[in-house]
Amino acid sequence: MHPAAKEKTILILAGPTAVGKTDASILLARESGAEIVSADSMQIYRGMDIGTAKPSLEQRKLVYHHMIDIAGPDQPYSVGDYLRDARAAIDGILASGGTPLVVGGTGLYIRALTRGLFHGPPADLELRERLLLREAEGEPGLLYADLVNIDPEAAVKIHPNDLRRTVRALEVYYLRDKKLSDFQKEHSFQDRPYRFLLLFLVRSRNELYARIDQRVDLMIGTGLEAEVRALLERGFRPGLSSLQGLGYKHFMDHFSGRMSRDETVELLKRDTRRYAKRQFTWFRREPEAVWVDITGLAQAAEIVGRIKKCIEISKNLV
């Protein structure tokens, strides 16, 4: 960690997909001389530009972006990898006397950056198998109900259908006789090398959903279908994690004959709206996030003006 990290508060500009982060962040970075550190789990992949709404090459010439195009679509890349690489980028910017600006909507990346990662005890495959067998032999959601009783604080952060994370939380409890939420509380104070101000941009639901539909139409118009087909022609398998992202999975299904093109586009719009809703849910659980309502603001300059006001208010509250 660079010594400047202790002195400078690093701004994180988060928000749901299509809210207007990209244009606003580039203008803000140009005005402040900042370099952008992406916190988007899909923009790390090379050759996946349109479907990930990656900043254009022209935009990246205006402001230097870190954490974009750093992995191939077939390269495993974990949140631990992101934490290591993003911290290295931030340290490098600070060491050169610059200002980092973190921008993105991947909640898990941002949580790791602001709190670090809790690793917990190693997996116990025998215990995990017993838990999965209990779920298979019982009523659906049995393990999640167990978790609600054992560790309600952890359960509220896990979707009831997320069996993998449910099993892991129970595994931690049974292996250490200690709740996952207690481990996380203890850990969160030990791995915070930077001070952050987390702003979460929001719009009214109707306005955001209209922007999402417009973005999908723009992606289709600028060649999303051809981008997905090119990835297949390069030999990337449909089952790759990178190709489960919005747009990519949808056109894979279309190419296989499971959906018509019109159905593909409508399903992509619906699923993108649902993803935005999940982003809202995630950041509601981030106690340090400051919500910034930009409903009705269309121009980047207007949004940046609102952001600056929130930054000033936050400074006065410290």
Q: What is the pTM of this model?
A: 0.82
Q: Which of 186, 201, 234 is the last residue of a domain?
A: 186
Q: Does residue 202 share a domain with residue 309? A: yes
In the chain, the number of structural domains is 2
Give the pLDDT confidence score for residue 20 in this predicted structure.
97
Q: Does residue 99 share a domain with residue 232? A: yes
**Local confidence band at 318 (pLDDT 50, 70, 90 cut-offs):** very low
Q: Does residue 285 share a domain with residue 166? A: no
Average pLDDT over residues 112-130: 84
Q: Does residue 132 share a domain with residue 86? A: no
Kindly report the average pLDDT of the chain as a whole number. 91
Give the pLDDT confidence score for residue 315 in this predicted structure.
73
Give the pLDDT confidence score for residue 7 in this predicted structure.
67
User: What does the radius of gyration of the chain's CA atoms come to, in whole angstroms?
Assistant: 21
Q: Does residue 172 share a domain with residue 214? A: no
Q: Does residue 287 share a domain with residue 250? A: yes
Contact of 29 with 96, CB cutoff 8 Å: no
Give the pLDDT confidence score for residue 165 in this predicted structure.
87
Average pLDDT over residues 222-234: 96
User: SS3 letters for 26-59?
Assistant: HHHHHHHCEEEEECCCCCCECCCCCCCCCCCHHH
Looking at residue 8, what DSSP letter applies?
Answer: -
Q: Does residue 57 share a domain with residue 199? A: yes
What are the pLDDT digits (tens) for 158-187? Answer: 888 888 889 989 998 998 888 888 877 766
Q: Does residue 82 share a domain with residue 111? A: yes
**Local confidence band at 190 (pLDDT 50, 70, 90 cut-offs):** low
Residue range of the domain that includes 146: 125-186
Q: Does residue 108 share a domain with residue 29? A: yes
More confident call, 66 vs 317 = 66
**Local confidence band at 139 (pLDDT 50, 70, 90 cut-offs):** confident
Nearest Cα neighbor of 168 from 132, 134, 133 is 132
Average pLDDT over residues 187-213: 87
Give the pLDDT confidence score for residue 314 in this predicted structure.
78
* CATH code for position 140: 1.10.20.140
Nearest Cα neighbor of 311 from 197, 202, 195, 203 is 197
Q: Does residue 97 share a domain with residue 131? A: no
More confident call, 67 vs 169 = 67
Average pLDDT over residues 93-109: 96
Give the pLDDT confidence score for residue 2 in this predicted structure.
52
Average pLDDT over residues 175-201: 80
Give the pLDDT confidence score for residue 88 in this predicted structure.
96
Q: Does residue 182 share a domain with residue 257? A: no
Least-confidence region, from 79-83, 132-136, 186-190, 244-248: 186-190
Give the pLDDT confidence score for residue 160 in this predicted structure.
86
Three-class SS state of 288: coil
pLDDT above 80 (res 56)? yes
Nearest Cα neighbor of 141 from 163, 126, 157 is 163
Average pLDDT over residues 35-41: 98
Give the pLDDT confidence score for residue 187 in this predicted structure.
60
**Local confidence band at 110 (pLDDT 50, 70, 90 cut-offs):** very high
Q: Does residue 148 share a domain with residue 173? A: yes
More confident call, 217 vs 160 = 217
What are the pLDDT digits (tens) for 258-283? Answer: 999 999 999 999 999 999 999 999 99
